[in-house]
Amino acid sequence: MGRLFAIEIIYRGIFQKTLATRLSRSIVLAAHQEGKMGISFGRYGDSPERNGIPAKNFAIVATDEQTLQEGMAKYEPKEVDVTIAVDDTLCKGVESWAWYGLQPVNRLLKPGGTLIVASREGPEAIIAMAHRKETPYNLAIVKGTVSFSGLWVYKDDHTDVRILGAIAKVLPDLFSLKSVQKVIMDQWQDPVKAESAARAYERISTTTVRTDQGNPEVPYKFDFPKWHEMGEGIAIPSIPAGRNMEDPVSHVHGGFQPDRNPTFKKFSTRTMRPVVNFDTCIKCTLCWLHCPDSCFDVTPEGLYDANMQACCGCGVCEAVCPVKECVTMVNETEFGDNASQWEAWRNDKEGYQAWLAKKIESHPQRSHGFRYRGQYEEQVPEMLEIARKG
Amino acid sequence: MATLAAVEEQRKTEETALITGSEAIAVACKLADVDVITAYPIRPYDTVMQYVCKLVSNGEMDCEYIVAEGEHSQFEIVKHASAAGARVFCGSSGVGWMYAMEALTVTPALRIPMIAMVGNRALDDPGAFGVEHNDALTVRDLGWQLVWVDNAQEALDTALIAYRVAEDRRIFLPCAISCDGAFLTHSQALVKIPSQEKVNEFLPPYDRGDLLLHPDNPITVAPQGNEDWVMEIRRQNYAAMERAHGVIVEAYADFERIFGRSYGNPFFEEYMTDDADIVLMGMGTLSISVKVAIRQMRKEGKKVGFVRMRWFRPFAAEELAKSLQRFEAIGVIDRDYSFGSPYLGGVLAGEVRHALYPGAGKKPPVLDFICGLGGREVTVPDVQKMADSVYHAADGKAQPLTQWIGLRE
């Protein structure tokens, strides 16, 4: 039997679909330059994709046809040589809509495998986000602004080729930089892109992540019930309606907090989250009314607290809020927990305002989506510049 | 012949009415106190909806009677009503049944004990009203219980039994009662109408229990599920259909105890099989011509018997195989087709051969006769021709495995 390679690409649904497809296709094509066989596919259960929901593409490559079949005989790989997270906030965990609870980004990595992350952050920040793993692995960061596009409009900021260059470095047995550049020229006839791949190849460096590093939280686990242990008629208990909220200071009860799915939290579906200035809120209800995920809890005094169990980070609340900087979307990398902002504000209003100001100030870029015509023309040169500087 | 006095005595407890098979089903709906009935006209099923409508209009029956804008909605409405705890009735014919197919598919998956009447009709094209069994047979793999009846009395009785079986918590699967278009749906016969008291004794109220869709029992029905769940869900339906066999036996025994009318083996009727050399098999009203032909052939010394399948799903394979192994050869009359199937035969013949295959016993040859399509009459000479061919097969003379009978050739 020959050698089998598996690479997974974890991406944000819709916003990075084209990027992920380009990556998994190019991996197979580059390996094929060196006589290897391969397949490229998206995880079937991720379709239909939702905006920003973690999704996966896979590239399976082998040195010969029979070995490839060994890889294809599995629905999806059980372990991979390289995991690519094309958005750094995915390192907090991966939970597609067809998935079961939050799963570590590095779950499928073989011992000694490499996690490649697109990010402006340093290794410390990324390592802190990712769950601990029982075996050491390597981390490689492709520095740059995280690339988000629309489904139909691709932002060609070279993230694709830079990651391909990085793969050639961390897994040289799969393909060489030369093969990557050949495939880039075959597909896109762009020598500048080929040069970007070479620059990433030269610059990429890896850090070993030890078993005592990372988020110590135990990932969600459950056992599948046997057929006769399951309820009949494809019926499941509904989520109860909800309850009053309790003020942490006055202990007054009031408002309304809907009950939410006990298993499927949207912790990792966001690339940004709203921060709310409760002192300037005019209680107009618009954020609560427009939120497509009913994420706003109504507090006893009639304020609206974005509950991070339910927030997908779409930004509709910010768009409809009539008060300047009352609701502001901030990059998800800025947050280490999912705690209630309203409770923090109730406990210490001054401290909260200081925290809020810092968060708003420190949000360097908005993550997803195509917002206005001419946006990519503005962003791409900026992103290429960051990429050039590393 | 019953004496006049005995008839008078009988009338005190049981009314007799001259009604069609469709009307008999409608009377069963009234006696079962069905809560929600949906309708959309298509011949020959529409005779049921007309009669139900009359019962409601006359104040004899209290139910929600909803005329939908098509069969798909018709079946969806009762599916939801049943999930909310209502006893329901529905039905269609031919391509109307096909138009409801998506709703028909999800009904057993959600364990909805819907009772439907299929007025068997040829599928279009050409647009023909006459009987063929392909319409009802399209749901044979989906978890529907399927039963064929051959007279109006049996239609009424079977409808009551179907409610009892389908609504049993061990089952919760829908049941379609097939009635041959024209021969049964449009032909009036004398039918004994059982008393309400006896029906109440036989048929307990529908209790959906923990699956009841109600604000006091908040559940989500039919959520999205992926490959991690589907096999287990299908296995549950498999188990329910497996249990249906025993529950049907129980129901027929109770029916006999309460109503004093016996159907013998619930799954298939045997006619003159005790000493038979060969048997013919079939479903539905073609039984009448077959029985007449058999009586004539017996006068000529031909020992022919008849096996009429009632329950097609669940299919009583073991009992049937055991019974059929007594004969020298078998001829299956298919009022259906399955183009390109093994030996190019019909659906029933394929099932019969399948039932015979695994057993250790004798495997008599099985011939298949495609006959009576589109409502064409199955004549006594047709039946004699089939029996002759089966006799030849029994004597070891090669016969075509599939023959078209009553065809202009």
**Nearest-Cα residue of chain B relative to residue A232:** B236
Residue A348 confidence (pLDDT): 97
Section B71-87 average pLDDT: 98
Is the domain spanning B268-405 CATH 3.40.50.920? The answer is: yes
Q: Are the C-beta atoms of residues B268 and B294 closer than 8 Å to each other?
A: no
CB A297: neighbour CB atoms within 10 A?
Answer: 22
For chain A, report the end-to-end CA distance as a whole number of angstroms: 40
Tell me whether residues B218 and A237 touch, CB distance under 8 A: yes
Could you give the 3-state DSSP secondary structure of residue B377?
Answer: coil
pLDDT tens digits, A180-207? 999 999 999 999 999 999 999 999 999 9
Q: Are the C-beta atoms of residues A272 and A229 closer than 8 Å to each other?
A: no
pLDDT tens digits, A11-22? 999 999 999 999
pLDDT bucket at A367, cuts 50 / 70 / 90: low
Name the one residue in this structure whose structure tokens are 């490499």. A114
User: Chain B contacts of A95, Cβ < 8 Å?
Assistant: none
Residue A265 confidence (pLDDT): 82
* Residue ranges of chain A that CATH labels 3.40.920.10: 4-209
DSSP string, A125-138: HHHHHSBP-SS-EE
pLDDT bucket at A386, cuts 50 / 70 / 90: confident
Tell me whether residues A227 and B221 touch, CB distance under 8 A: no
What are the tokens at A99?
């998935």
- In the CATH hierarchy, which fold is given to the domain comprising A242-361? Alpha-Beta Plaits (3.30.70)
Q: Which of A98, A228, A238 sits opposite B220 (nearest CB)?
A: A238
Tell me whether residues A237 and B222 touch, CB distance under 8 A: no
Asked if pLDDT for residue A104 goes beyond 90, the answer is: yes
Strand segments, DSSP code E, in B173-256 are 175-180, 188-193, 219-221
What type of residue sits at position B35?
D
User: Chain B contacts of A240, Cβ < 8 Å?
Assistant: 218
Question: Measured between CA atoms, how close is B84 to chain A, in angstroms?
Answer: 13
Residue B74 confidence (pLDDT): 98
Q: Are the C-beta atoms of residues A360 and A328 closer than 8 Å to each other?
A: yes
| Residues listed for chain B | 409
pLDDT tens digits, A211-242? 999 999 988 888 899 999 999 999 999 988 89
What is the rounded distance in angstroms from the CA atom of residue B221 to the CA atom of residue B212? 10
**Nearest-Cα residue of chain B relative to residue A224:** B228
Which residues share a beta bridge with B120? B180
Asked if pLDDT for residue A55 goes beyond 70, the answer is: yes
Tell me whether residues B227 and A225 touch, CB distance under 8 A: no
Higher pLDDT among residues A226 and A377, named by residue = A226
Section B175-197 average pLDDT: 95
**Nearest-Cα residue of chain B relative to residue A46:** B226
Section B338-367 average pLDDT: 94
What is the rounded distance in angstroms from the CA atom of residue B262 to the CA atom of residue B246? 17
pLDDT tens digits, A116-174? 999 989 999 999 999 999 999 999 999 988 999 877 889 999 999 999 999 999 999 99
pLDDT tens digits, B214-260? 999 999 999 888 888 999 999 999 999 999 999 999 999 999 999 99
Residue A73 confidence (pLDDT): 79
**Nearest-Cα residue of chain B relative to residue A229:** B232
What is the rounded distance in angstroms from the CA atom of residue A292 to the CA atom of residue A20? 26
Tell me whether residues A232 and B227 touch, CB distance under 8 A: no
Residue A261 confidence (pLDDT): 85
pLDDT bucket at A99, cuts 50 / 70 / 90: low
Section A360-389 average pLDDT: 76
Which residues share a beta bridge with A83? A8, A115
Residue-averaged pLDDT of chain B: 96
Higher pLDDT among residues B384 and A363, named by residue = B384
pTM assigned to the model: 0.90
Q: Are the C-beta atoms of residues B204 and B176 closer than 8 Å to each other?
A: no
What are the tokens at A250?
């006055």
Section A243-255 average pLDDT: 96
Share of chain B above pLDDT 70, in %: 98
What are the tokens at A271?
């690339």
Higher pLDDT among residues A74 and B340, named by residue = B340
Tell me whether residues B232 and A226 touch, CB distance under 8 A: yes
Tell me whether residues A233 and B111 touch, CB distance under 8 A: yes
pLDDT bucket at A377, cuts 50 / 70 / 90: confident
Section A273-289 average pLDDT: 97
What is the rounded distance in angstroms from the CA atom of residue A31 to the CA atom of residue A174? 6
**Of the candidates A294, A297, A300, the residue with the CA atom closest to the CA atom of residue A316:** A294
Question: Measured between CA atoms, how close is A235 to chain B, in angstroms?
Answer: 4
CA atoms within 13 A on the CB side of A385: 5
B194 φ, ψ (degrees, to nearest 5): -70, 160
Provide the CATH number for the domain formed by A4-209 in this structure. Answer: 3.40.920.10
Numbered residues of chain B with Cβ closer than 8 Å to any chain A Cβ: 109-111, 172, 210-211, 218-229, 231-233, 235-236, 239-240
Residue A98 confidence (pLDDT): 54
Residue A270 confidence (pLDDT): 87
Name the one residue in this structure whose structure tokens are 């309400």. B196
Where exactly are the structural domains of chain B? 10-259, 268-405
Residue A96 confidence (pLDDT): 63
Question: Measured between CA atoms, how close is A150 to chain B, in angstroms?
Answer: 26
**CATH homologous superfamily for B10-259?**
Thiamin diphosphate (ThDP)-binding fold, Pyr/PP domains (3.40.50.970)
CB pairs under 8 A between A and B: 58
pLDDT bucket at A82, cuts 50 / 70 / 90: very high
Asked if pLDDT for residue A364 goes beyond 60, the answer is: no
Q: Which of B111, B210, B219 sits opposite A238 (nearest CB)?
A: B219
Residue A97 confidence (pLDDT): 57
Residue-averaged pLDDT of chain A: 92
Share of chain B above pLDDT 90, in %: 93
pLDDT tens digits, B110-129? 999 999 999 999 999 999 99
User: Chain B contacts of A239, Cβ < 8 Å?
Assistant: 218
pLDDT bucket at B359, cuts 50 / 70 / 90: confident
Residue B31 confidence (pLDDT): 98
pLDDT tens digits, B121-170? 999 999 999 999 999 999 999 999 999 999 999 999 999 999 999 999 99
Question: Measured between CA atoms, how close is A332 to chain B, in angstroms?
Answer: 29
What ipTM score was computed for the predicted complex, to two decimals?
0.89
Tell me whether residues A235 and B109 touch, CB distance under 8 A: no
pLDDT tens digits, B8-59? 776 666 799 999 999 999 999 999 999 999 999 999 999 999 999 999 999 9
Residue B360 confidence (pLDDT): 74
pLDDT tens digits, B267-288? 999 999 999 999 999 999 999 9
* Residue ranges of chain A that CATH labels 3.30.70.20: 242-361
Q: Are the C-beta atoms of residues B213 and B61 closer than 8 Å to each other?
A: no
Residue B315 confidence (pLDDT): 98
User: Chain B contacts of A75, Cβ < 8 Å?
Assistant: 227
What is the rounded distance in angstroms from the CA atom of residue A17 to the CA atom of residue A371? 17
Q: Are the C-beta atoms of residues A335 and A289 closer than 8 Å to each other?
A: no
Tell me whether residues A224 and B228 touch, CB distance under 8 A: yes
Out of A30-44, A270-284, A370-384, B296-310, pick the least confident: A370-384
Tell me whether residues B233 and A226 touch, CB distance under 8 A: no
